[in-house]
A = this chain, B = another copy of it.
Amino acid sequence: MLSSMNTSNQFGCIGILGGMGPAATIDFMAKIVAHTSASCDQEHVPMLVHCIPQIPDRSTAIRAGTDEPFAWLLDGLHKLEAAGADYIAIPCNTAHFWHERLSAAARVPIIHIAQATADALTAEGQSPGRVALMSTRGTVGTRMYQSRLENRVDHFIVPDEAEQVLIDTAIWSVKAGNIALGRESAQRAAARLFEQGAERVLLACTELPVVLTREMMGATAVDCTDALARACVVASVSGRVPYHPLPELEAAA
């Protein structure tokens, strides 16, 4: 590579292990661009994106106890590293089930979406209040949000079965391009969680902010995709991952 083409002096390159699904990857990239202060192309954050949606469904694999997605994630990770990524981000909460094993195999940091979210939430200075989780069943099972937030918020609410069914429907609808059904299902799930006393919902599946937008939700939703995007911009610009990884939580998760 020509030295003039080495962008790393100015910006770290964000490698995006994506495609889970593609709409969520695009939403994540748009949030990186939105959080970048740039007056021309050249001031934007460099990104390499591996958007291969053929990877087997993560939530299904976790529930079935199979490990099939891991080899796909590892393949994508290695391709992104080979192409020059300085940091890796995975705009899929459920895939963070394999975060620790991927990190062990990676030469570069993999910025953790739940850690970025927890830090963003608690960095606001005031109590995050009563927070409800909206995610896949796979993410619920990893406890990656519970372990980071149960002791830092007033009350952490995990959906009941009826709410989880609505959330599942919302997520699958977005993946299938049915935005109307996705939005309706997500709104019904959020309404039930608010009725239970939640003050904010965690949009902890990257399909959810595609239908529950900032414009609709305001401060009542915490967009985990957005927290990851902000952390990536800071990492790219400053050269450091903007949170202190908590290995004991990883180990407990």
Contacts and interface: CB of A to CB of B under 8 A. Distances in A.
Interface string A47-68: 1111111111100000000001
Nearest to A68: B4
Nearest to A37: B177
A20 interface: yes
A30 B44 CA distance: 19
Interface string A10-28: 1101001001111101100
**Interface SS of chain A: helix, strand, loop or mixed?**
mixed
A202 to B, nearest CB: 22
Work out how many copies of this chain go into the complex: 2
Contact of A42 (B5, B48, B53, B71): B53
Contacts of A48: 49-52, 79
B40 A172 contact: yes
Interface residues of A, number: 54
A18 to B, nearest CB: 9
B7 A54 contact: yes
A13 B175 contact: no
A33 interface: yes
A239 interface: no
A123 interface: no
A126 to B, nearest CB: 30
Interface of A: 1-2, 4-5, 7, 10-11, 13, 16, 19-23, 25-26, 29-30, 32-34, 36, 38-57, 68, 71-72, 75, 79, 82-84, 172, 175-177
**When A and B form their complex, which 7 residue pairs have the shortest distance between CB atoms, in order from nearest?**
A49-B49, A44-B53, A21-B41, A41-B53, A47-B51, A7-B54, A46-B52
